[in-house]
Amino acid sequence: MLEINNFISGKKTPSETKNFVSLYKPTTGEEYARTPVSTPEEFKNIINLMKSAQKNWAETTLMKRSSILFKFKNLIEKNFDELAKIISYEHGKVFSDAKGSLQRGLEVVDFACGIPHLLKGSHSINVGTNVDSFDIRQPLGISAGITPFNFPAMVPMWMFPMSIACGNVFLLKPSEKVPQCSMKLAELFSEAGLPDNVFNIIHGDKSVVDLIIQSPDIASVSFVGSTPVAKYIYSESAKYNKKVQALGGAKNHMVIMEDANLEDAVNGLIGAAFGSAGERCMATSVALPVGKIQKPFMDLLKQKANSIIVGESFDKNSEMGPLITKEHKTKILTYIETGISEGALLELDGRKLSLKGFENGNFVGPTIFNNVTKDMTIYKEEIFGPVLSVVNVENYKQAIDLVNAHEFGNGTSVYTSSGNIARDFTNNVKIGMVGINIPIPVPMAFYSFGGWKNSIFGSNGMHGEEGINFYTRRKTITSKWSGTNIDPSLTMPTIK
């Protein structure tokens, strides 16, 4: 039985805990490892080590930080397939999808390599007589990240490369369900020359999350996961005066207009709805076909969804793998049953899937509901599985009103050949990330990732400019070198 270690002082370190979480292979249901629930004493020791390391790292030159990040990037590229295999093994997503998610994380490392440029401040001379003004960005101290199970590499890589590039030290608590990929990344970062205790990993459950939130030595918390947990982390961290990025759930809509290229739209929807078995916050879980295309849309959608090959994660023919755990599979099956009981039309039933040799795996096939209405549970709640709801609408106004009325505001897209529709959608949809004839509008690393409404808590998204803002504090300096004495005064100073 594999026992997962923490990562402290540049090496794997066994936990002293007697409390462990069992891990099971998503494809077979077999137990294969145990993740420790680290103790408060271990947490305190890690924080003390990081406090000692932080001052030296903050004083490390930008060029030196950048050099280490470049070496880290090169090591990821050299170990790319090995990292992707770890992702597939512990999460269950197919190998091609694992590689794609790793590539998106690598793009953030690439962006962070430009930190000497990204941390440039502004400088103005003679804002007053012999008075100059300039600003600088300084690191926060210790940053922490709490990451979900669905992207064992990409989501942590949204956080720690940016934080560390900015001069912080970073404590990562990955999901206890997928601990191994983060450990490999930490080893590679250490190999790249990162000093000890600049990047540490602690494993655990909610008890460790609360230690992070309550620690007076941690300046910021970054989180991606469900909305209830995001809201909890945001509100609790605010009590301790921390900066918080807390990205929550989603219910992403795709509007398919009558003038859209139907083949392109359905192909995009298939990948967006069923890729990674629907276990991603940018999954499209609601389709809104408009008007007369509704029947041909459904016919084509069912045809293509029926052809998706669901199978073992490392089978080269597999296009969709299993869900993460048996408990999550049960949750998805319950949502399907709820959809049926509330009157939605089940066009494609993923419960009927059976894979020879993998009967104990967490597999659910592509599932499609038609005639879904906005009052149904499967429309209102994030399912986080391969379940697509189709809501038929008569016109564009009905479609955009539905999108805007939903409590989540993470991502959305519209398929159309009309520039007027595209422009109106771009300007008037109340969603943080928008795609025009793009099914999954995830921004590149030099832009920022983050939704609106109940999909985010806190003022900053991940990576890009907002990531730099989040992991630094701005300091503005106004200076005067006049060579003259200044008389004391109790009035508000003004610049003349």
Give the integer Cα–Cα distance in Å for 490 and 496. 17
Q: Which DSSP category does 277 fall into?
A: G
Residue labelled with tokens 């004495």: 485
Of 306, 320, 435, the C-alpha closest to 368 is 306
Residue labelled with tokens 């970054």: 222
Buried b (16+ CB within 10 A) or exposed e, 300-315: bbbebbeebebbbbee
Q: How many CB atoms lie within 10 A of CB 74?
A: 13
Structure tokens, 41: 């004493």
Residue labelled with tokens 């502004």: 122
Q: How far, in Å, are 58, 97, 174, 199 from residue 53 at the CA level? A: 9, 36, 21, 10
Residue 20 class from Cβ within 10 Å (0-12 exposed, 13-18 middle, 19+ buried)?
Answer: middle
Asked if 145 and 101 touch (Cβ cutoff 8 Å), the reply is no
Q: Which residues pair with 253 in a beta bridge?
A: 286, 412
Structure tokens, 350: 């993923």
Mapped to the 3 state alphabet, what secondary structure does 340-352 carry? HHCCCEEEECHHH
Residue 437 CA to its chain's centroid (Å) = 22
Asked if 157 and 185 touch (Cβ cutoff 8 Å), the reply is yes
281 carries an active-site annotation: yes
Residue type at 12 in one-letter notation: K
Return the SS3 of 15.
Answer: coil
Give the integer Cα–Cα distance in Å for 412 and 477. 42
Buried b (16+ CB within 10 A) or exposed e, 429-450: bebbbbbeebbbbbbebeebbb
Return the SS3 of 226.
Answer: coil
Q: Which of 113, 166, 181, 281 is catalytic?
A: 281
Q: What angle do CA 429, 464, 410 make, to 5 degrees?
A: 30
Q: Which residues pair with 217 in a beta bridge?
A: none
Q: Which residues are catalytic?
A: 281
